[in-house]
């Protein structure tokens, strides 16, 4: 009986992994190509959630689900054009400061416009309900998030590994100078990747708004966990992030099963352990420009 | 690239200036400087998981200052608020000291986190300045950590548990029932869990499980699965701030059939949960449906000024300043020593409840009526604010109000 309960936590950890993955994936993309550690990523996630709350009453939840990530991606293009672009080649500490400031501006901006109190938002009635599989329970909405996360990962994988666009992006990660020498301007690719990465954060915001509090600090809350996932997976590794997200979800679930107070601490312990044993992360690759 | 460098850098600088202006919001906000004004310090968390409550606290105290000044101020002097974000216990302690020593405030109102409240209380005691706690529930602040300068308009955990417990007993949810509790993993939660356990033990309830939840947890699914496995008769929340919003939303998401109750609660976090998510029986120190003339007047004034309903947190900060103004007028002095003495002597105050309230000298706890509410069915809600119906107030009309208060067990020793 005990073992079944434990198994239930492990399977639930997969769903929670999808939740972390949606945020970590964009973070990893922007870091891989531009070398920018985007501390404002949580801010874009929060903007996505707030847009969902604003748009849903007008164009429905499905409409908001499409529109909100696109709007956040457009915001990403603007931010890339005026801010990120200046820091691709500079000391990472500068972009760290920039995005840290940006995160604070976004959080405080949301607080000034909407107030600090959480905005009411619920799962639309048509997506409510649970699926019972034997003794296990899965909310339909969470299964939906899981499916969308898989679709988002598949689409990102296809773009990065199966298109000519992706080939340039991957070459740019390894050796931007060589890409330039071949006469390919990397700039539009950088913009597109920033839009994609930030748009994924917006997507996560829309999807999680119905099941977690929509308040200004929601981005800061989730960002650290997303970073842990990226670091455990290995910087620049596509599959590493996916593997790490699932691992974090499962480890957290098992920890809460046995010793609930350490639920959040467990993921940091996991990170510390991975860094000690394998400093570049589980599936991290050597990237020339970061050596 | 170089030709566009100059204008973009200027734009960047403008952005930085904008950011600096925004950051300035974190600086102390002094509402109307005036040299002969009586300065009142207001210190409460504006960020973090209690931030949503802090915002309402500020709205409450601002409204009170405005009303007092419109009516001619205190002893002919204006009230001037010095408001700050208390952030965490270390910062709260440092800021309390700065408010008293540098800004020369006459007294301090505020705080929500019991851990920070303890820190501010210690500073208040050391510097002999009155601190009225408007949001920290820990019994420990009224027990081993009590001091003659720290007053509590916020009800103690014991009072919340007794208030909601009264209705849970009536609903037959305690005796012989299996309970599962989720507890916020910090000072407040630990203290509340202890009081709740005592209540269950005293009334024949069993605790099937109690999980500590870190304050930064956003996903409750592993906890909900454990609750489902334990099959309790009642699930109770000892959570705080944004935790309650996440819990309410995800409990509804998992559709667990067990009735919900809470031993601590704030209206703001339930308003933020969204349609069809809120359920259960919860205690409150005050709510906007309390049917007394002064309560209605407060609700109306708050709605006129802010365009939304007041919550329980704003009630505490609003009435604290009103109490201070009334007391200073009565003793004809802004001296902290005289203020403390007056409050401890059992002066009566109208805090919007059917009976007048007073601070008892034993632990400086405000003795007053408490309330419980029940979540409304989604189809009966008129709007997003209309999420609960009042269950009534305790103690009953004939009963002594002190029966709710923490037991006088001798742990509080006023130096």
Residue B29 — pLDDT band, cuts 50, 70, 90?
Answer: low
CB B98 within 8 A of CB B67: no
pLDDT of B335 reads 92
Indicate yes or no: CB of B269 within 8 angstroms of CB of A264.
Answer: no
Percent helix, strand, coil in chain B, to 5, is 45, 20, 35
B-chain CB neighbours of A210 within 8 Å are 249, 253, 274
Which of B253, B307, B388 is the best residue to mutate to test the A interface, defined by the most A CB atoms within 10 Å of its own CB? B253
Task: Work out the widest C-alpha separation in chain B, in whole angstroms.
Answer: 83
Q: Please name the member of B16, B229, B242 whose beta carbon is closest to the beta carbon of A215.
A: B242
Report residues of chain A scoring pLDDT below 50: 291
Taking the Cβ of residue A123 and every Cβ of chain B, the question of whether any pair is shorter than 8 Å is answered with: yes
Instruction: Write down how long chain B is.
Output: 415
Cross-strand partners of B208:
none
Taking the Cβ of residue A114 and every Cβ of chain B, the question of whether any pair is shorter than 8 Å is answered with: no
pLDDT of A1 reads 53
Q: Please name the member of A19, A141, A260 whose beta carbon is closest to the beta carbon of B212.
A: A260
- Taking CA atoms, what residue in A is nearest to B185? A261
CA–CA gap between residue A221 and residue B141 (Å, rounded): 29
B26-155+290-368 and B158-284+370-403, same CATH topology = yes
Best CA proximity match to B319, nearest among B192, B198, B151, B203 = B151
CA–CA gap between residue A10 and residue A72 (Å, rounded): 33
Q: Which residues contact A45 (CB under 8 A, 6 or more apart)?
A: A23, A201, A202, A204, A205, A208, A218, A219, A222, A223
Domain ranges of chain A: 2-290
- pLDDT score of B24 more than 70: no
Best CA proximity match to B211, nearest among A18, A135, A9, A216 = A9
A-chain CB neighbours of B25 within 8 Å are 108, 112
pLDDT digits (tens, 9 = 90+) for A108-160: 999 999 999 999 999 999 999 999 988 899 999 999 999 999 999 999 999 98
Instruction: Provide CATH code, domain A2-290.
Output: 1.10.3470
The per-residue pLDDT of chain B, averaged, comes to 91
Taking the Cβ of residue A142 and every Cβ of chain B, the question of whether any pair is shorter than 8 Å is answered with: yes
Domain ranges of chain B: 26-155+290-368, 158-284+370-403
CATH 3.40.50.2300 corresponds to the domain B158-284+370-403: yes
- pLDDT score of B407 more than 50: yes
Q: What angle do CA A211, A214, A219 make, to 5 degrees?
A: 100
CA–CA gap between residue B252 and residue B378 (Å, rounded): 12
pLDDT of B28 reads 53
List Cα–Cα distances, A254 to A108, B230, B255, in angstroms: 35, 16, 22
CA–CA gap between residue A179 and residue B14 (Å, rounded): 34
Best CA proximity match to B163, nearest among B258, B262, B238 = B262
| Distance to chain B for A285, nearest Cα, Å | 31
pLDDT digits (tens, 9 = 90+) for B144-161: 999 999 999 999 999 999
| Distance to chain B for A125, nearest Cα, Å | 9
Within 10 Å of residue B354's Cβ, how many Cβ atoms?
12
Classify burial at B162, counting beta carbons within 10 Å of its beta carbon; exposed 0-12, middle 13-18, buried 19 or more. Answer: buried
CA–CA gap between residue A253 and residue A259 (Å, rounded): 10
% residues pLDDT > 70 (chain B): 91
A-chain CB neighbours of B228 within 8 Å are 137
| Distance to chain A for B47, nearest Cα, Å | 7
| Distance to chain B for A147, nearest Cα, Å | 17
List Cα–Cα distances, B176 to B164, B166, B179, B195, B354, in angstroms: 18, 16, 10, 18, 34
In our burial notation (b when 16+ CB lie closer than 10 A, e otherwise), range A254-269 reads bbbbeebebbbebbee
Q: Which residues contact B85 (CB under 8 A, 6 or more apart)?
A: B26, B44, B45, B46, B47, B54, B91
Q: How many Cβ pairs within 8 Å bridge chains A and B?
A: 156
CATH 3.40.50.11540 corresponds to the domain B26-155+290-368: no
Q: Which of A9-13, B194-198, B206-210 has the lowest mean pLDDT?
A: A9-13
Q: Is B391 helix (H, G, I), strand (E, B) or coil?
A: strand
**Beta strands at B281-284 and B358-359: parallel, antiparallel or unpaired:** unpaired
Q: Please name the member of A5, A111, A218 whose beta carbon is closest to the beta carbon of B229.
A: A5
Q: What angle do CA A242, A243, A246 make, to 5 degrees?
A: 90
Which of A144, A223, A260, A265 is the best residue to mutate to test the B interface, defined by the most B CB atoms within 10 Å of its own CB? A260
Q: Please name the member of B212, B218, B276 whose beta carbon is closest to the beta carbon of A261.
A: B212
Indicate yes or no: CB of B272 within 8 angstroms of CB of A118.
Answer: yes
What ipTM was reported for this prediction?
0.92
CB B115 within 8 A of CB B142: no
CB A217 within 8 A of CB B51: yes
| Distance to chain A for B212, nearest Cα, Å | 5
CA–CA gap between residue A189 and residue A168 (Å, rounded): 8
Q: What are phi and psi of B79, to 5 degrees?
A: -90, 130
Q: Count Cα atoms within 13 angstroms, Cβ side, for A239.
A: 4
Best CA proximity match to B94, nearest among B123, B57, B131 = B123
B-chain CB neighbours of A82 within 8 Å are 8, 11-12, 15
pLDDT of A148 reads 94
CA–CA gap between residue A116 and residue A217 (Å, rounded): 8
| Distance to chain B for A210, nearest Cα, Å | 8
Q: What are phi and psi of B179, to 5 degrees?
A: -110, 145
- pLDDT score of B285 more than 50: yes
């Amino acid at each position: 009986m005990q073992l079944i309960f434990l198994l239930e936590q492990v399977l639930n950890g997969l769903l929670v992994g999808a939740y972390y993955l949606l945020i970590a994936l964009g973070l990893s993309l922007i870091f891989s190509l531009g070398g920018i550690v985007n501390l404002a990523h949580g801010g874009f996630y929060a903007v996505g959630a707030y847009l969902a709350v604003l748009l849903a009453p007008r164009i429905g939840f499905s409409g908001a689900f499409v529109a909100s990530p696109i709007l956040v991606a457009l915001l990403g293009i603007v931010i890339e054009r005026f801010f990120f672009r200046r820091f691709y080649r500079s000391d990472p500490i500068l972009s760290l400061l920039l995005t840290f400031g940006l995160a604070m501006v976004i959080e405080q901006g949301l607080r000034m416009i909407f107030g600090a109190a959480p905005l009411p938002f619920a799962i639309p009635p048509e997506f409510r309900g649970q699926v019972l599989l034997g003794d296990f329970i899965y909310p339909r909405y969470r299964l939906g998030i899981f499916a969308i996360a898989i679709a988002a990962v598949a689409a990102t994988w296809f773009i990065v590994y199966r298109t000519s666009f992706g080939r340039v992006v991957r070459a740019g990660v390894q050796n931007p100078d060589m890409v330039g020498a071949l006469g390919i301007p990397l700039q539009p690719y950088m913009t597109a990747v920033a839009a994609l990465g930030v748009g994924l954060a917006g997507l996560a915001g829309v999807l999680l708004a119905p099941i977690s509090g929509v308040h200004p600090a929601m981005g800061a809350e989730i960002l650290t966990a997303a970073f842990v996932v990226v670091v455990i997976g290995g910087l620049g590794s596509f599959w590493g992030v996916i593997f790490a997200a699932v691992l974090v979800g499962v480890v957290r679930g098992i920890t809460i099963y046995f010793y609930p107070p350490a639920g959040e601490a467990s993921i940091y312990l996991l990170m510390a352990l991975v860094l000690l044993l394998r400093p570049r992360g589980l599936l991290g690759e050597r990237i020339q420009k970061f050596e | 690239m170089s030709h566009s460098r100059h204008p973009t850098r200027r734009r960047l600088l403008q952005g930085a200036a904008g950011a600096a202006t925004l950051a300035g919001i974190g600086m102390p906000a002094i509402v109307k400087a005036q040299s002969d004004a009586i300065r009142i310090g207001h210190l409460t968390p504006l960020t973090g998981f209690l931030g949503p409550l802090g915002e309402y606290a500020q709205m409450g105290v601002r409204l009170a200052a405005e009303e007092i000044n419109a009516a001619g101020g205190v002893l002919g002097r204006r009230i001037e608020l010095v408001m700050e974000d208390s952030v965490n216990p270390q910062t709260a302690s440092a800021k309390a000291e700065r408010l008293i020593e540098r800004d020369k405030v006459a007294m301090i109102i505020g705080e929500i986190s019991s851990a920070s409240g303890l820190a501010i209380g210690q500073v208040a005691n050391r510097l002999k300045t009155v601190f009225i706690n408007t949001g920290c529930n820990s019994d420990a602040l009224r027990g081993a950590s009590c001091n003659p300068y720290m007053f509590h308009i916020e009800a103690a955990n014991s009072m919340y548990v007794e208030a909601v417990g009264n209705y849970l007993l009536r609903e037959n949810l305690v005796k012989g029932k299996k309970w599962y509790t989720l507890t916020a993993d910090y000072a407040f939660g630990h203290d509340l869990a202890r009081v709740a356990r005592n209540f269950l033990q005293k009334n024949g309830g069993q605790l099937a499980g109690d999980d500590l939840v870190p304050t930064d947890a956003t996903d409750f699914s592993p906890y909900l699965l454990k609750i489902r496995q334990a099959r309790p008769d009642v699930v109770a929340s000892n959570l705080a701030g944004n935790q309650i919003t996440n819990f309410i939303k995800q409990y509804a998401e998992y559709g667990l059939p067990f009735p919900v109750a809470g031993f601590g609660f704030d209206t703001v976090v339930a308003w933020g949960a969204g349609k069809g998510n809120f359920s259960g029986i919860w205690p409150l120190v005050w709510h906007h449906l309390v049917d007394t003339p002064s309560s209605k007047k407060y609700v109306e004034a708050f709605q006129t000024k802010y365009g939304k309903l007041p919550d329980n947190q704003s009630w505490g900060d609003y009435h604290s300043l009103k109490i201070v103004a009334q007391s200073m007028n009565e003793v004809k002095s802004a001296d902290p020593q005289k203020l403390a003495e007056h409050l401890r002597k059992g002066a009566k105050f109208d805090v919007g409840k059917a009976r007048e309230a007073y601070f008892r000298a034993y632990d400086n706890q405000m003795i007053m009526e408490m309330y419980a509410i029940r979540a409304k069915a989604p189809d009966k809600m008129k709007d997003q604010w209309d999420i609960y119906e009042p269950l009534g107030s305790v103690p009953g009309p004939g009963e002594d109000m002190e029966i709710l208060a923490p037991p006088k067990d001798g742990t509080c020793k006023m130096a």
